[in-house]
Amino acid sequence: MLLLPVTPAGAAQIVVLTIAFSVGTIFNSVSIAVNAEISPTRQRAAVMGTCTGLVTTAGLIAPYLTGQIIQTADSPAAGYTVSFTIAGVLLLASGVLALLFMRPEHTRNHIGLGG
């Protein structure tokens, strides 16, 4: 996403968008696996449902915020540039935080599910 504003218009932008959205969907699989790994069996469905609900809330909020950014920018192109830059920074930051702090085995042991 961070590369999109600086990528030449045309096919190159389509390739960058395709990669960004494809790699982003890996999060869904990983988050479900991590939640299943660290959740007690009796609470697994509730944990996974709650996490899915929270994550999909972005589908309600992001279009509104993106529209506001685009409408208040000097031009639609500038608004899209800012929107994609914000999305890229958020994705990069959340990925770094996940790498630093997600430790499913440690969490399982910490809550007494180790084994």
User: What is the pLDDT of the chain when averaged over all its residues?
Assistant: 86
Q: What is the pTM of this model?
A: 0.70
Q: What is the pLDDT of residues 50-83, one digit of tens each?
A: 988 988 898 899 999 999 999 999 999 999 999 9
Assess contact for 113 and 38: CB atoms under 8 A: yes
Give me the mean pLDDT over the 86-109 stretch: 83
The whole-number pLDDT of residue 113 equals: 67
